[in-house]
Structure 1
């Protein structure tokens, strides 16, 4: 199983042996992958425009091919961020696009993951003097 988030909504890729788990569930669009990467754009568009509880589950007998096809039209993005606690052990979260989230963002070219995590948390929260 692969779970990819698009605008905070999951696109779940499963083998056809796992279909029963997702049948008859509310807010889930369950569909067989038609085998052509261009069709994946329709499902991505649904998640981008659909309600916040929507989930799309696609299944195929060759889940790895399905995942490879998805990566051809929507390459993975490397990101970093952090879970931040203060001296009182309180968690810092940000409210973004209608959801509570952790600070994170894209890793720049040649940037180390730790450096990107610190930079993103500082940019999104204004907190300084962070330690990993």
Structure 2
């Protein structure tokens, strides 16, 4: 099953018929994805399931219906065990950005962390899960697939946000501060911290 966020509201791609309770179920094959996304953006649908019988190809089917943008990002630790956060559009987020042509995803993630925060001396410690969300740019809805990596950095300087990307603040947050920041963050970001077992 895949969890895709539209304005922080989820839809689930599934190959199981689930008995409806507080959500709607649609057939992926015949659903107009754009109309569904518009309804979710306008709060007409809070949560739904998209059903397709074959789990192996259901994500491919979704990608046939909506343009895809690939991105890479980092959950970066310093030597004090703090995590690098950025503050943009009124929310706490992690540094990430779009993949360039023929660029390896690991390099995308490291480049974006450095560009958005000024933090370098990065090394990847492991690959984390991918996250999925739909956004609108220039009137077009796109599915953003972000590949996340856990990284560490020995950077000693003061991180500086990339102004042209609208980053107002960059901060190293300790576990207590992370809990607070996640109250004003995105569902995708919370998923990463659940995976990292940092939300207990």
Aligned partner of 2:30 in structure 1 is: 36
- Match of 2:68, SS state, is coil
Aligned partner of 1:93 in structure 2 is: 85
TM score, norm. by length of structure 2: 0.50
**1:10 aligns to 2:4 (yes or no):** no
Tell whether the 8 Å contact from 1:35 to 1:66 is kept in structure 2 after alignment: no
Pick the structure with more strand per residue: 2
More moved, 102-111 vs 56-65 = 56-65
CA distance, structure 2, for counterparts of residue 46 and residue 97 of structure 1: 22
CA distance, structure 1, for counterparts of residue 58 and residue 43 of structure 2: 22
Show CA shifts across 1:94-127 (max 9, x none). 2344543221121110112222111111222232
CA distance, structure 1, for counterparts of residue 120 and residue 55 of structure 2: 43
- Match of 1:89, SS state, is coil
Tell whether the 8 Å contact from 1:33 to 1:66 is kept in structure 2 after alignment: no
- What is the root-mean-square deviation of aligned Cα atoms in Å? 2.8
How many residues get paired?
123
The 1:14/1:83 distance shift into structure 2, 3 A limit, reads same
Aligned partner of 2:40 in structure 1 is: 47
Unaligned 5+ runs, structure 2 = 125-200
Aligned partner of 2:116 in structure 1 is: 124
**1:84 aligns to 2:81 (yes or no):** no
More moved, 110-119 vs 4-13 = 4-13
**1:71 aligns to 2:68 (yes or no):** no
- Match of 2:41, SS state, is helix
Tell whether the 8 Å contact from 2:28 to 2:62 is kept in structure 1 after alignment: no
